[in-house]
Amino acid sequence: MSIRRRLTSAAIVGIVGLLLASCAAALPRAHPDPAPAVPPPALDANQVSAVLTGLGAVLKVADATNDPAPLAARLSGPALASRTAEYLVSAKLADPSVRTELPVGSQTVITPDTSTWPRAVVVVTEQPQNLQSPRVLTLVQDDPRSPYRLWGWARLLPDTKMPPTAAPTAGSTPLQPNAPGLVLTPKEVVEQYADVLAKGDVSTFASSFSPDVFHKQIETTLAATKTGLTQGLGTAATVTETYQPRPGELYSFSTLDGGALVIAGMTTTTSLTLSGGKIEFQNDVAALLGTTTVSSSATFVWSDVLVFLVPAKGSSALIQVLAAEHIRTAITGS
Amino acid sequence: MLKRFRPAAIVLLGLLVVGLGIASATLWMPLPTVRAVAIPADAGNVVVTAPGVLDLVSSEVTVRASAPGSRVVIVIGRDSDVAAWAAASPHVLVTGLSSWTHLATDSAAASVPQASASPSAGDTASPTASTDPTASTDPTPSAAADGGGASAAATAGSATTGGVAPDPSGSDMWLVQANGKDSATLTWASRPGRWSALAVSVGTSPTAPELELSWPHPVTTPWFAPAMAVGGALLLLGLGLLALMRAQTRSPELVEAWRGGVRVPAGIGAEQAGALASASAPAAGLTRREMRERERAREEAPAVASPGPFAQLRASVVTWALRFLPPAAERVAVPTATPATRTSRSMPVPMPTPMPMPMPTTPGPATAPTPGPAVPAGWSRVPPQTREPNPTGWSPTAPQVQQPASHAQQPAPQGQQSAPTSGRRAAQFGLHAAGRPAMPAPPPTAPRRGAPPPDSPAIPLPPVPVAPVPGAAAHDPPAAASTRADAWRRAWGFPGIADGTDNATEDVTDTEEGR
């Protein structure tokens, strides 16, 4: 009897317990979507627009007074240096046209599929109002707590066009500086191009690059300088120019055809040495130098931004320079 | 013993189930909004939700963060972005719900921030070089001027590692953000992907923000209807059993009429069949006149019961339901047990002698409503002495059979009941007569109250085995005998006769008055 009673009471307790337990629904647990194998684009279209809007606002404020102070919020690297120099010249000469016009409306956006830093977003802007060629803006986020800043801009060179890249909603794969699968790794591209700039057609790498307007312009400018100095000072003046890739400032994205878009920073340094006589500068150079005459030496520092299109490995195509910028950011001399 | 409480237990269980059902739809009904709070331990000024927490309950969440005295910023971004942003500071990670009102949290110390790969950070340019290139006369700083500004800016942006986290609202990574003094609120509709919320209190010495997530919650009461149905069914069943038990206690004849008023289908239950057999045994002791009268009464019985389809259904239902009840004798005997009853119960095999041989005069099969004694199963539950008469094929004669003789004690009361009301019959049961010296053994009783119809079958009726009526069954054979007629009367709406509970003395008085 007692066993039966115990069993009965146990059954009743069990039933009541079950009823109570079922009345209190189980706590939901977090079931996030699985982490994707390929990270999603770091920014969506709205966020890119917001970044560009922020950049435009900063530029607008800074442009109004030629004051570089606000620029740090949205500019860095070659872009910050270039803009700062432009403000200096613009203020000295009271000529706003010396500033590079930077539209912030986008034609093409390349977003990176990444979850690491630094991150770079590439924007091909609309054509500026002065009908120059569109700019290729590279916006970089250095670390999670930093905003995207305009690291550099470059002008699309004549007769070039951007390669097909993945839609910004899909995102493009960022490539490491030593990424394989290309005719040259991104790092090699910049180093060899610098060698080609320095040595011209004598460079062993000259055959890798198709002739481009930027290279021609560099050569032309240097030759003109040499010619002018020789005419004025004879052998008393020597001119040398070096091309140094900025270490680490290399942003690469795969394109749809398996190639890569490689954006690199480079510093060009032009050194004048005088053994006699003196050189007078005018206008923008004088503004940057802070004086008009040097008698012993002068050093010009240029911030360069280069955009290469690198074919995939096995391709017979040559590496092409799509866009470039070459802005004098500092001049020192005495 | 347990059986006695079974109906009550069923009623209680039914009430319980109904109560639980109601409670599940009222008291325990989930609120239309699930609101859960994370009260962070003192771990910085940053609270982060793990991926999947924002759509934990439903797809739309309202995030509220409050930190009195501080400006509060809430942002939502990709989980990896939020985690990376928060990693540089000690922060609280909300991992889920710990209850319906509280969020489960985890504290995380500031991890070493990812080394910035930005080369500009490594530049050593002085700030003046970057802000005023012309002031510099040294070529090298101006060469690095590009990076100098960037470095300064980056340092300003990424703030310090550890300690107090900066305002996150400057970042471009967030999809939505909100801020406010003391508290901030934003709503977020779930979208594909992994998303996290980040709440930061901003100020000179910000306190850790208290994060509250609330979701609209579709309220359903899935247990209400089933519980009501099951509980209601249990309640009805229990009440029905209680009513049946009560009816059986008060006038077992009525129950027997319900059940026995129709032809009991063969094989309806071995117990019952056994009872049929045992109950019919005493018929052997009847006189022929009694037998005739009994026969007549039996013939009337079916007419009264008018077994239609419904009646058959009812009969089977009652028969079925009776299984849930303890034998009436047991129920009854306990509270009103007299010494006599106890005696009889204590000796389960007292009456082999009174068991007469089957009467050849009884046209058993012809009169038996139950065709044949084909009742193999359950025989073992009937005491041996009742089995004896039956192998001859003699079938029970009484359609209004007793309770199943499922207990050893059962034969005793039955034997007593089946004793004829006349003193002569009582005398035959020497043992029982001796055991009940108080029994006056009165003649057939007259109706106690109300004038019975002159042609009432009650008076001439021979003793018929009846249900052990409480108290009366053992002590009051006249009353027992008349209860069957009483049941008929009640069934026809006539005033009933004495309750079965009358004791012998009362009955005697009544009988005397009736004379």
* Angle at B292 (CA atoms; ends B291, B296), nearest 5 degrees: 115
Whether residues B421 and B299 fall in one domain: yes
Which residue range(s) make up the domain with B244? 1-29+224-250
Q: Where do the domains of chain A lie?
A: 45-333
Sequence-separated (6 or more) residues with CB below 8 Å from residue B502: B448, B471, B472, B476, B479, B510
**pTM over 0.80, yes/no:** no
Dihedral of CA atoms B507, B511, B512, B514 in degrees, nearest 10, equals 140
C-beta atoms of B120 and A289 within 8 A: no
Instruction: Please provide the distance, in angstroms rounded to a whole number, between the alpha carbons at the two ends of chain B.
Output: 42
B94 φ, ψ to 5°? Answer: -90, 120
Whether residues B487 and B381 fall in one domain: yes
Does residue B478 sit within a domain? yes
Whether residues B414 and B301 fall in one domain: yes
Does residue B131 sit within a domain? no
Counting one residue from chain A and one from chain B, the pairs whose CB atoms sit within 8 A come to: 205
Whether residues B228 and B205 fall in one domain: no
Q: What separation in angstroms does the CA of A54 have from each of A57, A63, B157, B346?
A: 5, 14, 15, 103
Q: What separation in angstroms does the CA of B70 have from each of A63, A254, B47, B213?
A: 35, 45, 14, 19
* Residue B8, pLDDT score: 85
Residue A35: closest C-alpha in chain B: B194
Query: CA-CA distance, A283 to A287, in Å (whole number)?
Result: 6
Sequence-separated (6 or more) residues with CB below 8 Å from residue B27: none
C-beta atoms of B114 and A116 within 8 A: yes
B1 touches chain A (CB under 8 A): yes
Crossing angle (nearest 10°) for helices A2-23 and B6-25: 10
B264 φ, ψ to 5°? Answer: -75, 125
* Residue B504, pLDDT score: 43
The complex scores an ipTM of 0.85
Residues of chain A with pLDDT under 50: 1
Whether residues B19 and B42 fall in one domain: no
* Residue A87, pLDDT score: 93
Does residue B145 sit within a domain? no
Whether residues B273 and B181 fall in one domain: no
Whether residues B261 and B299 fall in one domain: yes
* Residue B474, pLDDT score: 44
The tokens for B210 are 């208290």
Query: CA-CA distance, B205 to B94, in Å (whole number)?
Result: 22
Whether residues B407 and B315 fall in one domain: yes
* Residue B487, pLDDT score: 66
Residues of chain B with pLDDT under 70: 1-3, 30, 42-43, 112-162, 259-287, 290, 295, 297-308, 326-515
Q: What percent of chain B has pLDDT over 70?
A: 43
**Which residues in chain B (114-153) have CB-CB distances under 8 A to chain A?**
114, 116-121, 130-131, 133-134, 136-139, 142-143, 145-147, 149-150, 152-153
* Residue B334, pLDDT score: 45
pLDDT in tens, A199-231: 988 999 999 999 999 999 999 999 998 998 888
Residues of B in contact with A43 (CB under 8 A): 172-173
Whether residues B108 and B193 fall in one domain: yes
C-beta atoms of A145 and B1 within 8 A: no
Whether residues B425 and B466 fall in one domain: yes
Does residue B129 sit within a domain? no
Instruction: Please answer whether residues B209 and B72 qualify as being in contact, where contact means their C-beta atoms are separated by less than 8 angstroms.
Output: yes
* Residue B308, pLDDT score: 67
